[in-house]
Structure 1
Amino acid sequence: MIPDPTPAPASRRPLRARLGPVRSRAGLTTAGVALLLLVGSANGLLLAWQSSVQHRITHTLSVDRTLMQVLADLLDGETGQRGYLLTGDPAFLVPYTAGQARVAAELPVLDTELRGSPAQEARLRALRPAIARKFAELDRTLALDRAGDRDGALALVRAGDGKTEMDEIRRIIETMRAQEDDLLLGYQRHAHRIEAMVGIGSVVSVGIMALLAVLALRETARRAALSRFLPAELAPLLERGGGIERGGGLRLGERRHAAIAFVDMRGSTTIAERADPETVAILVTGFRRCVAQAARETGGVIDKFMGDGALVVFGVPEPRADAAAQAIAFAERLEGLVDGWNATSREAPVAIGIGVHCGEVFVGVVGDDDRLEFTVLGDAVNVAARLEQATKAFATTTLVSQATLDAAQALGHAPGTAWREVSRSPLRGRQEAFPIYGRAA
Structure 2
Amino acid sequence: MTADPTPSPSARRPLLARLGSLRLDPIRLGPLRGRTRLTAAGAALLLLVGSANGLLLAWQSSVQHRITHTLSVDRTLMQVLADLLDSETGQRGYLLTGDPAFLVPYTAGQARIAAELPVLEAELRSAPTQEARLRALRPAIARKFTELDRTLALDRAGDRDGALALVRAGEGKAEMDEIRRIIETMRAQEDDLLVGYQQHAHRIEAMVGIGSVVSVGIMALLAVLALREATRRAALSRFLPAELAPLLERGGSMERGGGLRLGERRHAAIAFVDMRGSTTIAERADPETVAILVTGFRRCVAQAARETGGVIDKFMGDGALVVFGVPEARRDAAAQALAFAGRLEALVAEWNAGSGEPPVRIGIGVHCGEVFVGVVGDDDRLEFTVLGDAVNVAARLEQATKTFGATTLVSQAALDASRTSGTGWHEVSRQPLRGRQEAFPIYGRAA
Which entry has the higher C-alpha Rg, 1 or 2?
1
Greater RCO (Cα-Cα under 8 Å, separation 6 or more): 1
